[in-house]
Amino acid sequence: MTQFQSPQFRLGSASATLAIAGSAICFGLVPLFVRELQGLGAGPATIALYRYGFSALLLLPFLPLEKSKRGGALLLIGAGVVFSLSLIGYLEALVTAPVAAAGVVYMTYPVFAALFAFLLLRQALSWRSFAAAGLVILAAALLLDPSSLSPEVFEALVWAFPAPVAFGFLVVVLSGLASQLNSLERTACGLFGSVIGLLPLALQEGQGSLLPATGTEWSLVLAMGLLTALVPQLVFTVACQKVGPVRSAAAGSFELPTMFVIGWWVFGEELGAREMFSALLVLGAILIAPAISGGRRKMVAAELS
């Protein structure tokens, strides 16, 4: 039986970084769909399942079943489960708190990506790693309006905090671990793990009903699945293997400017000089963040196998 081989994309460091930034723009569209679906009565676990379930079904044939790939597959599935469960608090925060405030919490994930890269990939915490993470945190902090921190908003942001930790870990797993899996297999495993984690919660939340009830909901679900999960996740998975977790996390921070543009354009939140300066800081973080070399990735993978 002939196995499908995913296409080999020849991306350099610069083109891979641009590809990740492009996928981050798609990730940044999530608040648009979340608030629309919340307004139609969908809960956070159901919305998260909608986002990943459609893509997981399409990629189900690419789940690796070979014995030699089971270790990497289980690692990615487990990371997907953890991330999907942590995402529920973040989705709740997008409804309760301003989009920019939720972005402050979520955009701390480059720090955790750098820490996990140090612990799991032995990638040194250089001054460039610290500088890139610091610029992203500063950019996010500039967007936070202290007057918006009511007790309800503060509690929502606290529950959103596990999401950047889990995503930082997922970035490291996708970019530096599970080297025996190709890009389609990695994406399929991560999405399948997300569905495993979310399905019981979504069933409980919907009292046994999962499918969208109206044509409008179906349109939103399909658009969200394609634009914020399947296509950008495939691009991210391919590109992050070229530059490593720290550069991937920094380039992925382009999601933050996208979020406050959505907040301004769709939800009427403020967009001024502070927000523009934050975008420049994110761009600086992307340029500073170090990329791990291909030779270093192969050496680490051999040591961990």
Q: Quick count: other Cβ atoms within 10 Å of Cβ 153?
A: 17
- Give the predicted TM-score (pTM) of the model: 0.78
**pLDDT tens, 31-68?**
889 889 988 989 889 999 999 998 899 999 999 989 88
Q: Where are the domains of the chain?
A: 13-304
Q: What's residue 163's pLDDT?
A: 93
pLDDT at residue 150 above 70?
yes
Residue 214, classified by CB atoms within 10 Å of its CB into exposed (0-12), middle (13-18) or buried (19+), is exposed
Q: What is the DSSP string of 33-100?
A: HHHHHHHTT--HHHHHHHHHHHHHHHHGGG---SGGGHHHHHHHHHHHHHHHHHHHHHHHHHHHS-HH
Residue 304 has pLDDT above 80, yes or no: no
C-alpha 189/C-alpha 296 separation (Å) is 24
Please state, in angstroms and rounded to a whole number, the distance separating the CA atoms of residues 244 and 121: 10
Instruction: Give every CB contact of residue 270 below 8 A, 6+ residues apart in sequence.
Output: 145, 264
Q: What pLDDT, on a 0 to 100 scale, did the predictor assign at position 188?
A: 93
Mean pLDDT of the 164-179 span: 87
Above 80 in pLDDT, residue 240?
yes
Place of tokens 């069933």: 203
Which amino acid appears at position 148 of this protein? S
Average model confidence (pLDDT) for the chain? 83
Tell me the residue type at 242: K
